[in-house]
Structure formats: C-alpha cells, structure tokens
Amino acid sequence: MTAAGPAIPGESEEHAAIREVFAGFARREVLPGAAGRDAGSVYPAGLVRRLGELDGMGISVAETDGGLGLDTAAQLIAIEEVAYADAALASIYTAHYLGLEVFRQYGDGAARERWLRPLASGRAVAAFALTEPGAGSDIGAIATVARQDGDGWVLSGSKTFISNAREADVLALFASTGPGQGSRGLSAFALPAGTPGVSFSPPQDKLGLRSAPTYTVYLDDVRLPASALIGDLGRGGPIALTVLNAARIDIAAMANGIARRALDLASRYAAEREQFGVPIGEFQAIQILLGQMDAELQAARLTATWAAAERDRGADLRRAGSIAKYVATETCFRVVDSALQIHGGAGYLAGSEIERLYRDCRVLRIYEGTSQIQLLTIGREAARPRD
C-alpha cells in the first residue's frame, strides 16, 4: 500500500524519490478517507496543508521564489500519485498550480514576493478565476468589468465554476478593462481573500470531485489598488491562455493517476472474481480489455512526460499542452469505463470505488478546455506549413 507507482522511462533518482514521498503520502493519508470525503462533500483542508508541508505546492518554481526548483516531470509525478488516491484532492492541487502559474510567469517583483513565494512554499493556496456564466471557451465574452477609479480599480461582475475560490488566499482573476475589445481588452488581477465586496455561492453540487468545491464568485464594486494588476494592461487574454497551456499538462498527470488506479482495481478484481470455476482474468475477453487499458495508459503517461520536457525547454505549449491533455483525459475515460465493465454490476453500485472514479474522471474532458477545443488547437498547429 505504500509502494510508489510504476516509473516512467527516463525518470531520475530524484524523480524516484519524489514518487516515493508522494506515493506514500497518498496511500497512507489520502486514500483511506477519500470515499468518506466524497460522500460528505468534505473539503480536505488538512491534506492541503500536508501538501505544503511536503514541499509539494511549488515543485517546479525556482528556489529563489520559494519553490523546490525541480523540473516539470517532478511536478507531474506528485500530481499523478495524489490523483491515484483521490481525484478531488488532485483537482484542488492542480487548481492551485493554475493560479500560481499566473504569478510565476507574469508577476513583478512585488507580486512575486507577496504572492508567489507563499504560494510556492505552501503557506498559501491559489485559485484561477476566468470562467463566467456566459463565458467558457470564449473568453472574449467575459462580462466582468474592471474600471479605473483614481489610482486603483473597481471590479464588478461574477465568475463561476471556480475551484478553491473560497478557500484560496488569492485569486488570479480576469476582467475586462477595455469593454468591446473582446479578449484583447482583458487584464489580470490579484484578488486577496477577504477583500470587501467579494461573496460566494454555496459549493456547487457536482457529479464528481465532490470534496473539491467550486463556487460562483460575486464581485460588487470590489476595490483593488493599482498594484493588483498582473502583467501589462490589456494582456489578460494571452496571460490566461498561456498559463492554461501549462496547466493542461498537470491535468494530463491527474488523468493518468486516476487511470492507473482504475487499472489496478480492475486487475485485482479480475484475479479475485470467479466465474465458471476460474478467475475472470483467465478469459481472453478480460485480458484484451486489460491489455488495451495498459497500453493506452502507458502511451498517455509518456505523452505527458514529453509535454513536460517541452515546457522545460521553453517551447510554445499550445500544441504539446493540448496533445497531453487530450490523450490523457480521453484515455482516462476509456480506462475507467473498461474497469467498470470488468467489475460488472459491482462497479455500477453507488459507493463502489469504480463508480466514484467514473464520476470523477468525466469532467477532465471539459475543464481547462474541452477535448474539442484541444483538437482545434492541435489541428490549427498541424495545418501550419512545416520544413
């Protein structure tokens, strides 16, 4: 129960050590209570703190900014191991990294000191507030407005489906500073917790990831100082899309962790469940399902590792991030579905772990850009002339 998951070819001794630490944490501390947290929609505050204590909240952030200064592959390993035990905690984890990425890539010296350092060192949690009731994939439709007032800003509007919103210490929030200009008129802001004029809906009742709360965030003439602006005025659109490209690789790791758990559960069940006097794993029909699951999962994990290397070498992540997310999340759904097929009626019962994985994995093909958006991005890149 405490052994690390299977390594990916090319992992270093440092990667192996990271995997051992987070695999042990996930199996000893996360997995035992995952079902209960899901049933009660209980936010795992203590486990989020433990991620900070394990130096897991800024793995790929430079040491000078409070992180560990490791590569992206190390970050993916930690996310994958957490997701193996509890997809909901992994969703909280990846949402933190998404918000943190705004400050890591675009924060100035003051913002890095105030926000990035505590976020990376585990003393604070981040959220990312982009989506609105009328603006999902089309960020140019964002209606939340930030208008200049004296030497500061006043924000009005709402955001929805925001992970970590009420629990976060800071939200990286996007609003229109140039009405009528679409995505070219967006800007990014740091919204600290406890700012007057900010309120939240009750946690949204979701199909899965039930202990990872999401909220609608209401902004009623929220005043922020000039220093709250992140990056250049009117550059919020490129900021959002750039950090989402990086975050998609994290989602791929999350999907791979869920799929690994489903494959392990299916293999174990196939060895224990007997029909016609023998374990069902001896039947070719089951072996074919398990073989397909294993092959597709290994391909998805290698794809995520490739995308991580692309990020570390400074490549444009539009293509690599989209490929990693598309391959891993679609694979995850197929693997979990096949695991349920192998479990039969036992997997379909409410309260079974396979049933929870099935509910948890479905949203991965929607958030941080739907599978269709990923294919459009990949297709546009593939249509460009190449040498």
Overall fold of domain 127-234: Butyryl-CoA Dehydrogenase, subunit A; domain 2 (2.40.110)
What is the distance of C-alpha 237 from the center of its chain? 20
Distances from the Cα of 86 to the Cαs of 89, 98, 127, 360, in angstroms?
6, 19, 19, 9
pLDDT tens for 127-146 read 999 999 999 889 999 999 99
Instruction: Report d(CA 65, CA 69) in Å as an integer.
Output: 9
Q: Show which residues are catalytic.
A: 368
- Chunked into runs of 10 residues, the chain (387 residues) has average pLDDT values of 66 95 98 98 98 98 97 98 98 98 97 98 98 92 96 97 98 94 94 98 98 98 98 96 97 98 98 96 98 98 97 96 98 98 97 97 96 96 81
Instruction: Report d(CA 297, CA 331) in Å as an integer.
Output: 7
Distances from the Cα of 226 to the Cαs of 223, 270, 353, 368, in angstroms?
10, 60, 48, 29
- Give the three-state DSSP class for 318: helix
Place of tokens 């690390």: 4
CATH classification for the domain delimited by 238-382, as one of 3.40.228.10, 3.30.565.10, 1.20.140.10, 3.40.50.720? 1.20.140.10
What integer pLDDT is reported at residue 153 of this predicted model? 98
pLDDT tens for 192-227 read 999 999 999 999 999 999 999 999 999 999 999 999
| Rg (alpha carbons) of the chain, rounded to whole number | 21
Return the amino acid letter for 43: Y
Tokens representing 79? 């996310």
Between the two ends of the chain, the Cα-to-Cα distance in Å is: 50
What integer pLDDT is reported at residue 45 of this predicted model? 98
Tokens representing 382? 């593939």
Pairing of strands 278-279, 274-275: antiparallel
Beta bridge partners of 230: 188
What letter would DSSP give residue 112? I
* Helices and strands, counts by H and E, the chain: 13, 10
Q: Which CATH class is domain 13-125?
A: mainly alpha
pLDDT tens for 8-34 read 888 899 999 999 999 999 999 999 999
Domain ranges of the chain: 13-125, 127-234, 238-382
What letter would DSSP give residue 116? I
DSSP letters along 23-40, please?
A: HHHIIIIIGGGHHHHHHH
Instruction: Report d(CA 35, CA 387) in Å as an integer.
Output: 52
Q: Centre a 10 Å sphere on the Cβ of residue 20 and count the other Cβ atoms it contains.
A: 16
Phi-psi region of 242 (alpha: psi -120 to 50; beta: other; left: phi over 0): alpha
Nearest Cα residue to 236 out of 191, 174, 179, 158: 174
Contact between 182 and 170 (Cβ < 8 Å):
no
